């Protein structure tokens, strides 16, 4: 009887599938060059890319994960990218990613904070 490590088999299949997706959607060596999701990706391709993006994000490669999440329009991933920017003090970029993720709660909180700041600046001018 043969025993297979299904994680190894799944990883190999995921790697092979991911290579096909990357090869089919290559643009001058970049994963993505715009901020709107790629319309030509199938649900299966998006799922493969999102899994790879999650692995990259969790391993600390935020930039590559960000590019993948932009390509797929993966809102949870985009929200986590926004959280990372916020944690590093870049509120404007965090807001951008929350808006791209359609995360109204997190975007709204930053919009309110920005509005209060602008109101305070205006009040100082008067």
Sign of the CA dihedral with 10 first, then 16, 19, and 23 last: negative
CATH of the domain at 55: 1.25.40.10
96 in a structural domain: yes
68 in a structural domain: yes
Written as tens digits, the pLDDT of the chain (126 aa) is 334 344 444 445 555 555 565 555 544 444 444 466 767 888 899 999 999 999 999 999 999 999 999 999 999 999 999 999 999 999 999 999 999 999 999 999 999 998 998 898 888 877
Q: CA dist 102 to 52, 94, 96, 97, Å?
A: 22, 12, 10, 8
Q: CA dist 32 to 15, 58, 79, 121, Å?
A: 19, 20, 18, 38
66 in a structural domain: yes
108 in a structural domain: yes
| Segments forming the whole domain that contains residue 69 | 41-125
pTM here is 0.68
14 in a structural domain: no
5 in a structural domain: no
Domain count, the chain: 1
10 in a structural domain: no
115 in a structural domain: yes
């Amino acid at each position: 009887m043969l025993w297979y490590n299904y994680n190894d088999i799944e990883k190999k299949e995921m790697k092979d599938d991911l290579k096909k997706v990357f090869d089919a959607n290559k643009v001058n060596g970049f994963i993505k060059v715009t901020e709107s999701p790629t319309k030509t990706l199938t649900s299966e391709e998006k799922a493969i890319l999102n899994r790879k993006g999650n692995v990259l994000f969790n391993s600390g490669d935020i930039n590559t994960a960000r590019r993948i999440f932009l390509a797929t329009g993966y809102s949870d991933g985009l929200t986590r990218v926004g959280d990372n920017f916020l944690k590093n003090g870049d509120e404007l970029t965090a807001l951008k990613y929350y808006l791209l993720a359609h995360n109204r709660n997190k975007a709204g909180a930053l919009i309110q904070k920005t509005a209060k700041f602008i109101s305070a600046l205006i009040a100082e001018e008067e």
